[in-house]
Chain A
Amino acid sequence: AQTVTQSQPEMSVQEAETVTLSCTYDTSESDYYLFWYKQPPSRQMILVIRQEAYKQQNATENRFSVNFQKAAKSFSLKISDSQLGDAAMYFCAYLYGSQGNLIFGKGTKLSVKP
């Protein structure tokens, strides 16, 4: 069964600093997609970044970038120049073809200190 593991229940970062959130997954599929979603206190789930497994290049979106290590089945999220608005729960999610539904990790709660 496909699983997604986020080993850090909580993380903290100083404003303007960089933080990396970890995610590992287990799959035997070759064609799949990985996502990071952010869920602020408002509970709205917001897409942060998406990575296609067939792409070797790591995805980036402004201050957000990933380190995708396919062989290690690792997909970490790096947030640079952290802002107070980055404080939220961050979920790593996996999507593959035969099911089509997202499989989520348990989440990492990120706090940003001013």
Chain B
Amino acid sequence: KAGVTQTPRYLIKTRGQQVTLSCSPISGHRSVSWYQQTPGQGLQFLFEYFSETQRNKGNFPGRFSGRQFSNSRSEMNVSTLELGDSALYLCASSLGGFPDTQYFGPGTRLTVL
């Protein structure tokens, strides 16, 4: 099976812009989770989607949002970008139930100038 894919791999944006990142899960996986990785804060959970519904949300401002489509592909959007949003954004997929193992994509490196 193909692994989790994320597009684009790299993005450069300026402050105030918005950005959309995409994640395609492993075939058959219905849950997609998003994580932000920075040198200072480490890996932090953003949100999780299952069957097109947000099932779980981390402690991030409302500028961070996401959605999931009927084919389980997911997008996350960050509006009004700030310098501190520069990070590696990782997507992980799982079958969907607890305690399924999460498998990660290669990440999208976002740089905000």
Report A-chain residues with C-beta under 8 Å of the C-beta of B104: 37, 44-46
B55, A100: Cβ atoms under 8 Å? yes
Please, which residues of chain A bring their CB within 8 A of the CB of B56?
99-101
Kindly report which residue of chain B lies nearest to residue A6, judged by CB atoms.
B42
Interface residue count on the B side (C-beta < 8 Å): 22
Q: How many residues of A contact B (CB 8 A)?
A: 24
CB proximity of B21 to chain A, nearest CB, Å? 14
Contact status A104-B42, CB under 8 Å:
yes
The answer to whether A35 and B43 have CB atoms under 8 Å apart is: no
CB of A97 within 8 A of CB of B98, answer yes
B79 interface contact, C-beta 8 A: no
Residues in B neighbouring A105, C-beta threshold 8 A: 42
Docked CA distance A52–B42 (Å):
24
Q: Which residues of B lie under 8 Å from residue A95 when comparing CB positions?
A: 98-99, 102
Question: Quick check: is B45 within 8 A (CB to CB) of the other chain?
Answer: yes
A47 at interface by CB-CB < 8 Å: yes
User: Once the chains are docked, how many angstroms separate the CA of A97 from the CA of B55?
Assistant: 12
Q: Does A102 contact B (CB under 8 A)?
A: yes
- A35, closest chain B residue (CB): B101
Residues of A within 8 Å of B25, CB to CB, are none
* Inter-chain contacts of B33 with A (CB < 8 A): 101-102
> In the complex the two chains form, is A47's CB within 8 Å of B103's CB?
yes
Asked if B48 CB lies within 8 Å of chain A CBs, one says yes
Contacting residues, chain A, for B105 (C-beta < 8 A) = 44
A residues contacting B by CB (< 8 A) are: 32-33, 35, 37, 42-47, 50, 52, 91, 95, 97, 99-107
A-B contact pairs, 27 of them (CB 8 A): A32-B99, A33-B99, A37-B104, A43-B88, A44-B104, A45-B107, A46-B104, A47-B101, A50-B101, A95-B98, A95-B99, A97-B98, A97-B99, A100-B48, A100-B55, A100-B56, A100-B98, A101-B48, A101-B56, A102-B33, A102-B35, A102-B43, A102-B45, A102-B102, A104-B42, A105-B42, A106-B42
